[in-house]
Amino acid sequence: MNAPHPAKVAGIDSTVPSPAHTVAPAGPGASPAAPPDGADAVDSAAATDTPGAGCAPGALLQDRLAGWVSDLTTLHELTERLVRTDSLPEALQEVLRAGAALVGARRGLVVIEPADGLGPKSTVGLGLTRADLGHLETVPRGCLSYGPILDGLPVGEGGIAEPDLFAETGLDPRHREVATRLGYAASYALPLTTEGTGRLGAAVWLYDEPAEPGERPRHLAGLYVRYAAQHLARLLEVERTRARMATMAEELLPSRLPRVPGVQLAARHRTGPRGGGDWYDALPLPDAALGLAVGSVTGSGPSAVAAMGRLRASLRAYAVMEGEDPVAVLSDLELLLRLTEPARSATALFGYCEPALRRITLAGAGHSPPLLIGERRTEYVETSVSAPLGMLACWEAPSVEFQAEPGETVLLYTDGLLHRTGDPADRAFARLHAAAASVPRAKRQDPDAVAEHVLRTALPDGAAEADSEEDVVLLAVRFE
């Protein structure tokens, strides 16, 4: 591989078949967008050089027109595939696959490094493992073909081609070592940029042998990447918004659960891309008691997250003052909500827990009942039917009291867990009950394992992590 080789011209290896009614373009140099200036002269010259073309002067032009139609059809189908992606990682993989087909490469990578420095930064590979990408990261950036792109240096419309790495006398030794290890001998890089956001990163394709894309593949790849950059910019902004909302929601929830003798605590929280208003809380109270709460504010987005934070902070204050009376706590919270945010409603569940007695006094406002998980029973705790906060002129409902056995776990949750199942209410409750009943005996000693098992079983096949308008909150309380 160290000896110089004549560079091959890489052609289109499209995964999208050409339409049956078109024919292949006349040559790799044909432009796919529009006939170049002086097309008649080019056609005449080509007709002279092409055997049999002199007797059919319009044949070459017809072939070129058919080639342009075929190229545009290919681009249309590739961009249609890209548009159907709705997450940044999925879109990056599609860009790599489409670009590899256009420029005739087998492997590649996309480096996302926005010029504004707001992130996220990531590197995604096609045909490259995480270890391979790690080896590439050890090469000084300025020695890589896409280094100038990431450094913000001007790059021509044709991208940056390295047709034969090992023929270059000034090749960086580390780059030579990594290229030999990964088995590539040439590369082709294009910038990912938009007018509105500037540089997003770079797309690079690697060839196993010395090669470079011709004029036609370069032009097609350039058109595709310019369109792809706009789609990636939109998904990047969605990713940033999602990260900001998740951070804001997590900051408004407990940074850690308290350690209280007699109980063990664990929690799970999943939020959608827009952020939602589900929350949980556990706070130590006087007389070695513990306040437990879960709730949900209507709506989504920043306003719902902010309302959730205000409601949770207020509930904490009321719990400290009169936590032994859960009905009074929720009554105060309802009054506050009605006076300060009359257009919003919320569900809530508050429990006054006495760990030494394994007893919980509970009040709920339009919330689903807790689930009691033990060795000999798995059952819902019977609670009184009540309206959500903010729905009536004056909220009030009786409290209930129940006692757990040693080793039993009380599971508090928000309605989002039921809604994410996609089932009607009765079937969703049955699914949750079955998930709790199936917790393995060995895991019942650990509330964290109980919460994880219930979440994964009630929401299988990645539904717990998938984007959804519904938040999910689980708070597991195990009595020792």
Contacts of range 248-256, beta carbons closer than 8 Å, 24 or more positions apart: 248/275, 248/302, 248/305, 249/275, 249/276, 249/305, 249/308, 252/279, 252/305, 252/308, 252/309, 252/312, 253/279, 253/280, 253/281, 253/312, 254/280, 254/281, 254/282
Nearest to 198 by CA among 119, 115, 91: 115
Measured distance CA(435)–CA(422) in Å, rounded: 15
For residue 364, the domain's CATH number is 3.60.40.10
Chain CA centroid to CA 456, Å: 18
Q: Is residue 25 part of a domain?
A: no
Domain residues for 130? 8-19+30-243
Whether residues 425 and 353 share a domain: the answer is yes
Exposure string for 151-165, b = 16+ CB within 10 A, e = fewer: eeeebeeebbbbbbb
For residue 221, the domain's CATH number is 3.30.450.40
Whether residues 289 and 413 share a domain: the answer is yes
Task: Please list, in sequence order, all residues whose beta carbon lies within 8 angstroms of the beta carbon of residue 28, skipping any fewer than 6 positions away.
Answer: 9, 11, 214, 215, 216, 217
pLDDT in tens, the chain (480 residues): 444 444 554 555 544 444 333 333 334 443 334 333 333 333 333 334 444 444 466 788 888 888 788 888 999 999 999 999 988 999 999 999 999 999 999 999 999 999 998 888 999 999 999 999 999 999 999 999 999 999 988 887 789 999 999 998 889 999 999 999 999 999 999 999 999 889 999 999 999 999 999 999 999 999 999 999 999 999 999 888 878 877 777 777 888 899 999 999 999 998 876 777 899 999 999 999 999 999 999 888 888 888 899 999 999 999 999 999 999 999 999 999 988 888 899 999 999 999 999 999 999 999 899 999 999 999 999 887 788 998 877 777 889 999 999 999 999 999 999 999 999 999 999 999 999 999 999 999 999 999 999 999 999 887 777 777 788 999 999 999
Q: What is the DSSP letter of 389?
A: B
Q: Is residue 196 part of a domain?
A: yes
Measured distance CA(471)–CA(480) in Å, rounded: 30
Query: How far does the chain reach from its first CA to its final CA, in angstroms?
Result: 67
List phi, psi (to 5°) of 81: -60, -40
Q: Is residue 188 part of a domain?
A: yes
Whether residues 116 and 217 share a domain: the answer is yes
Taken in order 253, 256, 258, 262, the sign of the CA dihedral is positive
Whether residues 288 and 238 share a domain: the answer is no
Measured distance CA(268)–CA(166) in Å, rounded: 53
477 pairs with which residues across the strands? 265, 410
Pairing of strands 8-10, 211-213: parallel
Task: Please list, in sequence order, all residues whose beta carbon lies within 8 angstroms of the beta carbon of residue 56, skipping any fewer than 6 positions away.
Answer: none
Whether residues 363 and 470 share a domain: the answer is yes
Tell me the one-letter amino acid at 384.
S
Chain CA centroid to CA 196, Å: 23
The count of structural domains within the chain is: 2
Whether residues 195 and 300 share a domain: the answer is no
Whether residues 202 and 281 share a domain: the answer is no
Contact 320, 285 (CB under 8 A): yes
Give me the pLDDT at residue 56, please: 64
Q: Which of 243, 277, 308 is the last residue of a domain?
A: 243
Distances (CA, A) of 180 to 136, 175, 183: 11, 8, 5
Whether residues 462 and 340 share a domain: the answer is yes
Contact 337, 296 (CB under 8 A): no
Q: Is 318 left (phi over 0), alpha (psi -120 to 50) or beta?
A: alpha
Q: Which of 183, 212, 243 is the last residue of a domain?
A: 243
Q: Is 183 left (phi over 0), alpha (psi -120 to 50) or beta?
A: left
123 pairs with which residues across the strands? 111
Q: Is residue 472 part of a domain?
A: yes
Whether residues 226 and 261 share a domain: the answer is no
The position carrying tokens 């910019």 is 233
The size of the chain, in residues, is: 480
Half-sphere exposure of 263 toward its Cβ, with a 13 Å CA cutoff?
30
Q: Is residue 152 part of a domain?
A: yes
Measured distance CA(35)–CA(258) in Å, rounded: 72
Whether residues 189 and 269 share a domain: the answer is no
Q: Is residue 162 part of a domain?
A: yes
Helices 173-182 and 130-137, interaxial angle, to 10°? Answer: 170
Whether residues 227 and 264 share a domain: the answer is no
Contact 258, 286 (CB under 8 A): no
Measured distance CA(205)–CA(187) in Å, rounded: 6
Measured distance CA(471)–CA(15) in Å, rounded: 39
Q: What is the DSSP letter of 32?
A: S
Q: Is residue 1 part of a domain?
A: no
Contacts of range 257-260, beta carbons closer than 8 Å, 24 or more positions apart: 257/282, 258/282, 258/283, 258/284, 258/290, 260/284, 260/288, 260/290, 260/355
Give me the pLDDT at residue 199, please: 93
Q: Which of 217, 243, 269 is the last residue of a domain?
A: 243
Whether residues 265 and 357 share a domain: the answer is yes
Q: E-assigned strands of 152-234?
A: 160-162, 186-194, 198-207, 211-213
Q: Is residue 157 part of a domain?
A: yes
Instruction: Report CA Rg, the chain.
Output: 31
- Which helix (H) or strand (E) is 123 found in, with range? strand 122-126
Taken in order 301, 302, 303, 309, the sign of the CA dihedral is positive
Half-sphere exposure of 74 toward its Cβ, with a 13 Å CA cutoff?
32
